[in-house]
A and B are shown apart, each in its own frame.
Chain A
């Protein structure tokens, strides 16, 4: 326990506290920092780029709370009904999740390309059109993500007592009714937990956006993490970037607090 605490202090606590401290300075990332109070925070909330990135994060979160969650639930539920090749399907769904993001993003860049891929066939520049770019990047990220949800939901669904389904079937409940009356209530803690993690991960999302568009075109795919990265290493405003990091952590903290509160009031067990 003690070594873990030590390692955590060194790699988590100290950098976190440092970030909070630097968020109150004008640190460039090079050399000394000067204390500037809440200037970074007041600048941030007046910064159109920050608001734009935050809005994209909200859209991103909504997308990932709905689309992959629905796909994951449906996929897992469908798999519980499959008797043969279940393992094969699970592996097939899971593979995109374990492929390195840089690899899958590069493949999808070719697939969506207006010169060689689907973009050429449809005459659409998915990553170059600012109205389509965010959705296209989210689509690619979802491709890698939803299979993971299938596997987790499936594991949760397999722990449900099969007698419940048999009894429901005897009472005349069809698959849809069984899903909403037995499956969903039984996996609710898992569902809530994955929802929580989806929100947290959505606010930390970086790799697919950075690899595919670097936040462009014209900021149309910028999310907080890409904006933070650009401020820290592009304009050498590490203090300002730290303030953004603190805000991102606060958002995650609020989400976790709300989740814990709901779990406590509803007596959910995980």
Chain B
């Protein structure tokens, strides 16, 4: 190849272009503002968050919000962190992935800020424990959630159905709804395969029970125990009877808008999902949808004798840490404290936008008289839980969780037995337990204990 002056100039240009691209990629840490990358489900949420959680923040260092897509924020963050850059605050999908971030040295130790900001008093103990890696607090839970039974009260009344509290009632509910030509439970995973684990979480916690799960998470009971195999078999049998989403095939192709419409229209009698649905359901009910439909929620039924009648499956939907290489870790911790403990702003955001709050103590007094009763009921009852359950996306390690999501479809389609499925869980879990990758789980007692 001849090296001419023109070639050298072109090469210089290419190197310059690369330098500019590199500079763009590292812009996340440039300047004195705190960089915060976040995602929103819609423009209204984005506007609200920007005004109340960014512009109104009067901390020592201003915050610069950069909006990302929920599909890509994790990968973008990981890439930036690998390059030694990235935002000051690191948003992660929850404790199951925090271990990887912490192990790579990306997260600052927040233990000393826990004392400074009295996080131990403000947060639920279980949530802070689940946010620790090797005894160090490396993230704060920025949203928490539980599973619930959703229904349309008018549809329930019209069809003389009863919101189930026991397995017998649940099976009667589904049988009667189906006999009336309804889909017993609106469900689908076409938009998000992770929906599989919502139902597994319910089956494990409300049939096997929190004590059995806790024991298995400690490595004392294998996941191949009959109580887990029975839970998977039971859930699969419900699917195969067409109770979830109208049938196994349709469950695979139902998208969320259709699921919500079925609940609103009365085509479906109920729905089992997480409390994150509060904001998702709003556009399909009442004024916003041009109908008179309403939704309500109840705690999930207990499927087996000996399981407490009310179990709150706890989940951390998001954990946020501070970038160990952030120019101002203290300022980032200060903002994280504002994001997670300013009860007035947080309660207002729940009222206005149905944002999911962090696991802090909220009382009725924190909400105004205009607050939606369904929302205040949830966030004031949840901290008083007598028995807690374990969501797979919070307390199960990464590979085990992904296996549970993907392979459950093979159980539904009868390609894999419940026994073999549970053996697969045990195989992966044992490795991750040995590697110290299982998030810390609280004992299955009440949250106040």
Contact = CB atoms under 8 A, between A and B. Distances in A.
Which of B97, B103, B406 lies at the interface centre, i.e. has the most chain A CB atoms within 10 A of its CB? B406
Nearest to B188: A128
Contact of A128 (B18, B74, B103, B249): B249
Q: Is the interface of B mostly helix, strand, loop or mixed?
A: helix
B11 A235 contact: no
B80 to A, nearest CB: 12
A125 B75 contact: no
B20 to A, nearest CB: 13
B180 interface: no
Contacts of A213: 252
A125 B178 CA distance: 20
Interface in A1-49: 1-3, 5-7, 10, 28-32
Contacts of B415: 218
Interface residues of B, number: 42
Contacts of B15: 6
Contacts of B399: 235-237
B3 A2 contact: yes
Contacts of A130: 413
Q: How large is the interface on A (under 10, 10 to 19, 20 to 34, 35 or more residues)?
A: 20 to 34
A166 interface: no
Interface string B13-30: 111001000000000000
Contacts of A234: 402, 406
A233 B398 CA distance: 11
Nearest to A231: B402
A28 B100 contact: yes
B82 A3 contact: no
A10 B249 CA distance: 45
Interface of A: 1-3, 5-7, 10, 28-32, 113-115, 125, 127-130, 213-214, 216-219, 230, 233-237
Interface of B: 1, 3, 7-8, 10-11, 13-15, 18, 74-75, 78, 81-82, 97, 100-101, 103-106, 189-190, 193, 248-253, 258, 398-399, 402-403, 406, 409-410, 412-413, 415
Given A216-B189, A235-B398, 19 more contacts: A2-B1, A2-B10, A6-B11, A6-B15, A7-B14, A30-B82, A30-B106, A31-B104, A31-B105, A114-B250, A125-B250, A125-B252, A216-B409, A217-B409, A218-B412, A219-B410, A233-B74, A236-B97, A236-B100
Which 10 residue pairs of A and B lie closest in terms of their CB atoms, listed nearest first? A31-B104, A128-B249, A218-B409, A3-B10, A217-B252, A128-B253, A2-B7, A128-B252, A3-B14, A125-B249
